[in-house]
Structure 1
């Protein structure tokens, strides 16, 4: 069974994310994560990753967070699209 997903933001400065699979990209203005619940895009100023443990799926980061955006897992979207197409062609 896959690990759970948790996002905890304290004072818009300290972030803990559980359920991280991979860090897609990062710089001081944006961190993009692939998580067990899809993609998570973190935006802000002066962002930096303090700790990353992909075996446990944990990430901690600091900075001033202005936005947390969740996107559906891209692979899940493709599967849904195929199912819709199959239903239409029946």
Structure 2
């Protein structure tokens, strides 16, 4: 029997997504912003990877200590990606 060490997600961590009028987005529980530009923001949250797609997206506030992110712009889609429970090494993330 093979033993795999997986880091369990903190099920008790607060994670909230608040979208106001498709123009203002607030997210809590943010652990890392992996990439961002004017059309896409990819962030790792305590509940998985969240991808925000839209137009003229700007990060207004980012507090990784508190895990809060505020985005302004036109939000077209919010999508959670399945992490598969594994982060992989540097090369695995590079070739995603």
Task: Deviation per CA, 1:45-78: give whole Å up to 9, x if none.
Answer: 000000000000000010000000011234x158
Aligned to 2:27: 17
Higher helix proportion (structure 1 or 2): 1
Name the structure where strand makes up a greater proportion of residues: 1
Matching residue of 1:70: 80
Which residue of 42, 46, 53 corresponds with 1:43? 53
Aligned residues: 77
1:37/1:72 contact within 8 Å kept: no
Tell me the C-alpha RMSD between the 2 structures: 1.6
| Runs of at least 5 residues in structure 2 that lack an aligned partner in the other structure | 1-9, 88-96
Alpha-carbon separation, structure 1, partners of 2:45 and 2:36? 15
**Following TM superposition, where does structure 1 have runs of at least 4 consecutive aligned residues deviating by more than 3 angstroms?**
none
Task: Provide TM-score, normalisation by structure 2.
Answer: 0.75
Q: Between Structure 1 and Structure 2, whose CA radius of gyration is higher?
A: 1
| TM-score, length basis structure 1 | 0.79
Q: Secondary structure at the match of 2:44?
A: strand
